[in-house]
């Protein structure tokens, strides 16, 4: 029996984490939480989750990408309230795997997660703008 895929979620709001965790757990994905970038970095050094989902509320996305650029095992997907095409392109060009607008569509989140886990080497196989 193989281990369940693991996702690290960086989110400050408990209700937002509960929603994400419920959706991901229902899909058979193990969910770990970090409340800030330091927690996330320490988690990644210890466990190396192949996917990081980062809510941009309270987190500087550029700083997050700088942190995870040092750890090439993680694809980073951002959730943002003010997501538009210029921001999406900027994030992709900076190394993000994808950006989902909030509130996000559960099917779109599931599709992105499936793409990350199917590709095997997520940090090197994100979008190219």
User: Domain of 99: which CATH number?
Assistant: 3.40.50.2300
Q: What confidence score (pLDDT) does residue 121 get?
A: 46
When divided into structural domains, the chain yields a total of 1
Tell me the pTM: 0.87
* pLDDT exceeds 60 at position 129: no
Measured CA to CA, the distance from residue 39 to residue 42 in angstroms comes to: 5
Residue 129 included in any domain: no
Distant-in-sequence, close-in-space partners of 79: CB < 8 Å, separation ≥ 6? 11, 53, 54, 55, 56, 99, 100, 101, 102, 104
Tell me what percent of the residues of the chain surpass a pLDDT of 90.
61
Q: Which domain holds residue 109?
A: 6-124
Share of the chain above pLDDT 70, in %: 89
């Amino acid at each position: 029996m193989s281990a369940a895929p693991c996702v690290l979620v960086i989110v400050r709001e408990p209700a937002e984490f509960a929603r994400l965790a419920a959706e991901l757990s229902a899909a058979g994905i193990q969910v770990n939480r970090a409340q800030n970038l330091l927690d996330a970095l320490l988690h990644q050094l210890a466990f190396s989750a192949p996917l990081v989902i980062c809510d941009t509320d309270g987190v500087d996305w550029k700083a997050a990408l700088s942190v995870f650029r040092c750890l090439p095992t993680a694809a980073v997907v951002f959730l943002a309230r003010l997501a538009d095409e210029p921001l999406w392109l900027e994030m992709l060009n900076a190394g993000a795997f994808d950006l989902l607008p909030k509130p996000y569509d559960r099917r779109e989140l599931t599709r992105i997660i499936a793409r990350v886990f199917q590709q095997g080497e997520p940090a090197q196989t994100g979008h190219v703008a």
